[in-house]
């Protein structure tokens, strides 16, 4: 069966520091991969999605970037964090084509101080 791993679960970082959040998927090949951010008490905002290795699309201009160095690995990065980058970050995958049901990781709570 397919599983998705996301880490770390919690992160506290100072303003101006770099960021790297990692997500890996097991049990499937060529998944679509997604990074979302959820502000407190809000819905999900799509940040990036990827349909293949090295293929990244950005939904919202921001201080963040994403990379997909391997088929089942998706990384969210920042060179210098801002206070506004605080939030709950969720990685998700879906099978290529079909219903596009997205399955989520456990999430990372990022606090930028």
Partner 1 sequence: AQKITQTQPGMFVQEKEAVTLDCTYDTSDPSYGLFWYKQPSSGEMIFLIYQGSYDQQNATEGRYSLNFQKARKSANLVISASQLGDSAMYFCAMRDLSGGYQKVTFGIGTKLQVIP
Site for partner 1, rule CB under 8 A: 42-44, 46, 57, 88, 90, 92, 99-107, 109
Our CB check for partner 1 shows the closer of 1 and 100 to be: 100
* Secondary structure (H, E, C), 15-84: CCCCEEEEEEEECCCCCEEEEEEECCCCCEEEEEEEEECCEEEECCCCCCEEEEEECCEEEEEECCCCHH
Our CB check for partner 1 shows the closer of 62 and 88 to be: 88
Our CB check for partner 1 shows the closer of 83 and 101 to be: 101
In angstroms, give the least distance from the CB of 17 to partner 1.
Answer: 23
The first and second tokens of residue 58, run together, are: 């950005």
């Amino acid at each position: 069966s397919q599983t998705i791993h996301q880490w770390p679960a919690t992160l506290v970082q100072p303003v101006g520091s770099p960021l790297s959040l990692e997500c890996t998927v097991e049990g499937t090949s060529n998944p679509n991969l997604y990074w979302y951010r959820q502000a407190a008490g809000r819905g999900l905002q799509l940040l990036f999605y990827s349909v293949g290795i090295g293929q990244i699309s950005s939904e919202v201009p921001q201080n963040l970037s994403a990379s997909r160095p391997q088929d089942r690995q998706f990384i969210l990065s920042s060179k210098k964090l801002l206070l506004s980058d605080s939030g709950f970050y969720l990685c998700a995958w879906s099978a290529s084509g079909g219903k596009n049901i997205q399955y989520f990781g456990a999430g990372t709570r990022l606090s930028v101080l």
